[in-house]
């Protein structure tokens, strides 16, 4: 096991900088997820840690050792790709054992190690099968077992579940999280799926355009986003953002579950402590126990999450209201969060005490 440290790491392709000075500490034994939209630099960052891409600037340390000049095989990391990269002509046992044999591991030790790992990932009954005889989830387990058997300091995973169907993907999330707890190793996991990031990681690194936007635990990202990008990227559905009333330099935001949907004739009480907008329900999404109402209001379109579809019918005139302490305040120019509406941070901002 080892922590991974990035110090001012950059990557340039054909005079275009795609990773722009990353400073990041990935704690020993953590499950750290790099998440962001396509093209944000997360997979390139992972490949630089693995040694599959050279670093244009800065340093990468694994443990206490700088690894910029080390080839992939000397970094004591193992990588799992989204396409599994299994050898189709080899059975499961030989696929798992391939790396061990290249290291010169004895036949007897190889057998012990492979059988031990196969038991952990539930493949003991499949060791003689070829990859073509396995399901997608089983092939993914083979790829994981092949990485695990080398007992690396760090596991690197580049969207390993993206080729699985939704049900199997959910199942594999649970299995990977359990596997991490069992091994206690450092996991670095890349995904574009913020739901996957929130359910798996204990540290999440949100990236955009080659920059780190925020590093935090899942619920801290959701409840205390540092900027508009994180506020709207993390959360499903995303945070609502509306123009600030009387302050053109600001935007206000609120989570869909913090809003109330009332018949238009009902006035929220106490009105002074709430943001209020009149509108009309233009669509709704029924999600079982919850329903998402899309409301076109006088202050912009917003989404309200309610626990029943009976909260309103299509075309109904409604009032959307949110308690002011649940409203986030963002600087329009920089996108940075400057507080909450009516909260202590925002009082300081209005007084000129916080930038």
What is the pLDDT tens value at each position of the chain, 355 positions in all? 689 999 999 999 988 999 999 999 999 999 999 999 999 999 999 999 999 999 999 999 999 899 999 999 899 999 888 777 889 999 999 999 998 888 888 999 999 999 998 988 889 999 999 999 998 888 888 988 888 888 889 999 999 888 778 888 888 888 889 889 988 899 999 999 998 999 999 999 999 999 999 999 999 999 999 999 999 999 989 999 999 998 999 999 999 999 999 988 887 766 778 999 999 999 999 888 889 999 999 999 999 998 766 667 889 999 999 999 999 999 999 999 999 987 544 433 333 333 2
Closest alpha carbon to 323 in 254, 266, 221 = 254
* Number of other residues whose CB lies within 10 A of the CB of residue 95: 24
Whole-structure pTM over 0.75, yes or no? Answer: yes
Residue pair 145/118 in contact by the 8 Å Cβ criterion: yes
Q: Supply the pLDDT for residue 162.
A: 83
Q: Supply the pLDDT for residue 310.
A: 65
| Angle 72-155-45 from CA coordinates, rounded to 5° | 65
CA distances from 318 to 130, 260, 279, 296, 309 (A): 59, 10, 5, 10, 14
Helix axes 107-120, 136-148, angle to 10 degrees: 130
Rounded to the nearest 10 degrees, how much is the dihedral formed by the CA atoms of 232, 237, 243, 249?
Answer: -10
Rounded to the nearest 10 degrees, how much is the dihedral formed by the CA atoms of 255, 261, 264, 267?
Answer: -80
Residue pair 278/297 in contact by the 8 Å Cβ criterion: yes
What's the rounded Cα separation, in Å, for the pair 68 and 60? Answer: 6
Q: Supply the pLDDT for residue 55.
A: 97
Specify the CATH architecture of the domain 237-350: Beta Barrel (2.40)
Quick one: 210 exposed, middle or buried, by C-beta within 10 A (0-12, 13-18, 19+)? Answer: buried
Q: Supply the pLDDT for residue 349.
A: 39
What is the per-residue pLDDT across 281-307, written as a single tens digit (0 to 9) for each?
A: 999 998 888 899 999 999 999 999 987
CATH topology for the 4-229 domain = Rossmann fold (3.40.50)
φ/ψ of residue 303, rounded to 5 = -115, 135
Domain boundaries, the chain: 4-229, 237-350
């Amino acid at each position: 096991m080892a922590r991974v440290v990035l110090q001012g790491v950059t990557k340039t392709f054909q005079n275009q900088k795609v990773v722009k000075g990353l400073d990041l500490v990935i704690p020993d034994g953590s499950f750290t997820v790099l998440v962001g939209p396509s093209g944000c630099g997360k997979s390139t960052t992972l490949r630089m840690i693995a040694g599959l891409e050279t670093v244009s600037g800065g340093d990468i340390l694994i443990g206490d050792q700088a690894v910029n000049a080390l080839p992939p095989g000397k970094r004591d990391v193992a990588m799992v790709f989204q396409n599994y990269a299994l050898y189709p002509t080899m059975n499961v046992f030989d696929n798992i054992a391939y790396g061990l044999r290249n290291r010169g591991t004895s036949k007897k030790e190889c057998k012990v190690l492979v059988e031990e790992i196969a038991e952990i990932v539930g493949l003991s009954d499949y060791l003689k099968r070829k990859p073509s005889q396995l399901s997608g989830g089983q092939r993914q387990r083979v790829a994981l077992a092949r990485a695990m058997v080398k007992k690396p300091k760090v596991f690197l995973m580049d969207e390993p579940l993206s080729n699985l169907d939704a049900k199997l993907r959910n199942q594999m999330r649970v299995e990977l999280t359990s596997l991490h707890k069992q091994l206690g190793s450092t996991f670095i996991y890349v995904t574009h799926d913020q739901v996957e990031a929130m359910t798996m990681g204990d540290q999440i690194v949100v990236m955009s355009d080659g920059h780190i936007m925020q590093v935090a635990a899942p619920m801290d990202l959701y409840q205390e986003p540092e900027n508009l990008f994180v506020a709207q990227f993390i959360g499903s559905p995303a945070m609502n953002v509306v123009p600030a009333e009387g302050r053109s330099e600001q935007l206000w935001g609120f989570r869909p579950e913090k809003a109330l949907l009332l018949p238009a004739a009902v006035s929220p009480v106490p009105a002074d402590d709430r943001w209020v907008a009149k509108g009309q329900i233009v669509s709704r999404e029924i999600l079982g126990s919850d329903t998402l109402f899309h409301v076109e209001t006088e202050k912009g379109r917003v989404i309200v999450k309610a626990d029943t579809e009976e909260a309103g019918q299509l075309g109904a005139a409604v009032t959307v209201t949110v308690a002011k302490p649940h409203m986030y305040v963002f600087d329009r120019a920089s996108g940075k969060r400057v507080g909450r509406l009516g909260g202590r941070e925002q009082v300081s901002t209005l007084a000129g005490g916080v930038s």
